[in-house]
Structure 1
Amino acid sequence: MAINNELLRHLEKELNATISKAGPVGGGSISHVYCLHTAKEKYLLKLNNKGAFPGMFKAEAEGLDIIKSTNSIHVPTVILQDNFESDSLLVLEWIETKRPNPQSSALLGEELAQMHRNTSANFGEVADNYMGSLKQGNRSHPTWAAFFIEERLKPMVELAINKHLINNTYIQNFEKLYKQLPGLFQEEPPSLIHGDLWSGNYLISVDNNPYLIDPAVSYGHREFDIAMTTLFGGFSNEFYEAYNHHSPLAKGWQQRLDLWNLYPLLVHLNLFGSGYLAQVRDCLTQFI
C-alpha cells in the first residue's frame, strides 16, 4: 500500500508540517508502516484498508489512550486517527529504541504491575477491539471465567469449526473445559490488561523507558498478560522477578500459563492454519 501524493498532502495538512520523506518500516504484519520525516519531528504512520479492518485503528487509539490515562507505563502518543479515501490511518509519536537491558526489563515488569492495579467493576468493560486481525468482543461479565469462555474461547472455537480446523473431539474437550474452568484458578478483581503482550508489542526507548504498543485491551485477569509473555519468548528473568516483587501472582501461576494461552493459540490457528493445532491440543488436554 503506497503513499500517494493525495495522501501525503492530507497528512501534511493534518500535521501542519511538510513531509520530507516517508520511508517503510519493518514489522507490520497487518498494516503498512512508515516513518514520516518532517523538519522538526518524526512520526510513525500505519495504513490499512478501512473496509478490510473496520474500526481497527480507532480501537488501537482508544486502547493506547486508556493505558496512557493510568500514568503507569509509557505508550506512544496518538497524533491522528483518520480515514482518507479507502485507507484507514493512524499516526503515532515516533519512539527511538534500543535493545532491552536488565534495568529496562525490570522496569517493564514494575510498570506492568502498576498498570494491572487499574481495575473496573466487571470484566471486559471496554469497546470491542481486535486481536491481530480478528475482532474480539469485550462485553461485560461478572467473572473472569465467564468472560474468558464467552468472549475469548467460544468465538475462536466457533471460527475454527467454520474453517474446518478442529473436529468433534476438540469441540467436546472445550465443552469439558468450560465446565471445569471456574475451579482451575483463583478469581481476582478485573485488571486493565494489554491483551496481546508478546515481545513484538513492547519497546525500550533510548532513555531506557518501556513502551507498550498495539494493545488489545480489556479488563481481565492479569495472569493472561503474563501467560502471553511466555508464548514466544523475549522477556527476561528480570521482568518476571520485578513483576512478582511489585504484584505477586497467585500460587501455581506457572501451571496456568498454557490455560490462558489457549486463546492466542486459537487466534493463530484461525489466522495461520493447522500448524498450531498440536499446541492447542497439548494445552487443552492438560486441563480436562
Structure 2
Amino acid sequence: MAVSAGVISDIECKLKAQIKNVNPVSGGDINQAYRLQTTLGNFFIKINSLHKFPGMFKSEESGLAAIRKTNTIAVPEVVLQSDTGDESYLILQWIEAGYGEVISSQKLGRQLALMHRNTAAQFGFEANNYMGSLLQSNKQHGSLAQFFIEERLQPMVKMAVDKRELTQTDIYRFDELYKKLPYLFTEEPPALLHGDLWGGNYLIDTDGKPYLIDPAVSYGNREFDIAMTTLFGGFDHAFYEAYNQEFPLLPGWQQRLKLWNLYPLLVHVNLFGSMYAKQVRENLSAFI
C-alpha cells in the first residue's frame, strides 16, 4: 500500500523537507512501514489507522522517551509524531541494521540490566499503552501480584473467554493461580521494562550498537522482560551471561519464566487464536 498524498503533504510541511522516495520495509502486522528518503536524510516511518489504534504512536513515543531518559541503552530518536485525517504516523531515526556478534549480545544484555536498575515507587506506568494491537492497562499498584493479576492476566483471560478461546475451567485454574501468586516470587523494586522484548524488537546497527524498538513500557518485575526473550528465540547465551554479570537475577528465575510468559501468551491467544491456548494451559499447570 502506498503512502497517502495526505500523509506525504503533512510530512513535507512539518519537516520542511521534500520526500524523494518511499520504499516499503518490514514493520509488523499492525502498521505500514517505509523508509523515507528526504532532503534531510533517511527516516523510518510507521503509519496506521487513528480510528483503530487511537494514541498508539503517542504511547510509543512516551515509551521510547522513558527508556532514553535512563541513559543506559539506545532507542531510535523520534523525529515527528502526527495525525492527519484518519491516519496516524510516527517518524523515527533510520538505523542501518548490521549483523549481531557476541560482543553485541553482551552489550544488549549488560545495557538491559542497567535499564532495569531504574525503578519507581509503584508497579505500572503513568499512562496506558499497547501490547501489540491490544490496549494495555498500566494502572499503578503497590503490589506486583495485584498489578500482574488485575492489569495483565485478568483482562486477557476475560477477552480470551469472550472470544471462546479459553473456557470456564481455565478461569477457575487462573483463580487458583491468583491465590498462590504472591508466594511464587521474591519482591524487588519495580523495574522499568521494555514490555515486549522478543527478538524482533531490538536492532543491532552496523557498528554493533544495540537499540530497543517498539516498547510497551511499564514498571514491573524485571524477570518479565527476560521471560519474553525466551518465547521465540533471538537471544543467545552471551546475552543472558552478560545480563547476570551486570545485575544477577534472583535464584529460581528460570522456573518463573513460564509464570511471566502467561501474559504474552494470552495476548497471542487473543490476537492469533487457540493455537497458543495449549501453551497457556501448559504454563499454568507448572504453578497449580
| Alpha-carbon separation, structure 2, partners of 1:6 and 1:50 | 14
* Cα shift readout 1:181-211 (whole Å, capped 9, x = no counterpart): 0101111000000000000000001111100
| Alpha-carbon separation, structure 2, partners of 1:225 and 1:9 | 39
SS of aligned partner of 2:82: strand
Query: Which of structure 1's runs of 4+ aligned residues deviate more than 3 A?
Result: none
| Alpha-carbon separation, structure 2, partners of 1:248 and 1:275 | 34
SS of aligned partner of 2:230: helix
Q: Say whether residues 1:115 and 2:125 are aligned partners.
A: no
SS of aligned partner of 2:239: helix
Normalised to the residue count of structure 2, the TM-score between the two structures is: 0.98
Question: What residue identity is the alignment partner of 2:212?
Answer: L
Match of 2:158 in 1: 158
Instruction: Name structure 1 gaps, 5 residues minimum.
Output: none
TM-superposed deviation, 1:55: 0.6
* Cα shift readout 1:230-277 (whole Å, capped 9, x = no counterpart): 000000100000000000000010011010000000000001100111
| Alpha-carbon separation, structure 1, partners of 2:164 and 2:212 | 35
Match of 2:33 in 1: 33
| Alpha-carbon separation, structure 2, partners of 1:150 and 1:187 | 17
TM-superposed deviation, 1:5: 2.5
Cα–Cα, structure 1 residues 4 and 125, in superposed 2: closer, same or farther, change >3 Å?
A: closer
Match of 2:172 in 1: 172
* Cα shift readout 1:83-128 (whole Å, capped 9, x = no counterpart): 0111010000000111210000000000000100110000003210
Match of 1:238 in 2: 238
Measured on the aligned residues, the alpha-carbon RMSD in Å equals 0.8
Question: What residue identity is the alignment partner of 1:58?
Answer: K
1:48-197 aligned within 5 A: 48-197=48-197
TM-superposed deviation, 1:168: 1.6
| Alpha-carbon separation, structure 1, partners of 2:27 and 2:55 | 21
Question: What residue identity is the alignment partner of 1:15?
Answer: L
| Alpha-carbon separation, structure 2, partners of 1:158 and 1:278 | 17
* Cα shift readout 1:154-198 (whole Å, capped 9, x = no counterpart): 000010111111112111000000000010111100000000000
Normalised to the residue count of structure 1, the TM-score between the two structures is: 0.98
| Alpha-carbon separation, structure 2, partners of 1:89 and 1:5 | 13
| Alpha-carbon separation, structure 2, partners of 1:145 and 1:106 | 31
TM-superposed deviation, 1:10: 1.3
Question: What residue identity is the alignment partner of 1:129?
Answer: N
Q: How many residues align?
A: 288
Question: What residue identity is the alignment partner of 2:240?
Answer: Y
| Alpha-carbon separation, structure 2, partners of 1:140 and 1:5 | 41
| Alpha-carbon separation, structure 2, partners of 1:51 and 1:238 | 42
TM-superposed deviation, 1:4: 2.4
SS of aligned partner of 2:14: helix
Match of 1:7 in 2: 7
Residue pair 1:266, 1:280 contacting (<8 A) in 2 also: yes
Residue pair 2:99, 2:208 contacting (<8 A) in 1 also: no
More displaced stretch, 126-135 vs 6-15: 6-15
SS of aligned partner of 1:20: strand
Instruction: Name structure 2 gaps, 5 residues minimum.
Output: none
Question: What residue identity is the alignment partner of 1:218?
Answer: S
Question: What residue identity is the alignment partner of 2:41?
Answer: E
Residue pair 1:126, 1:219 contacting (<8 A) in 2 also: no
SS of aligned partner of 1:33: strand
Q: Say whether residues 1:211 and 2:172 are aligned partners.
A: no
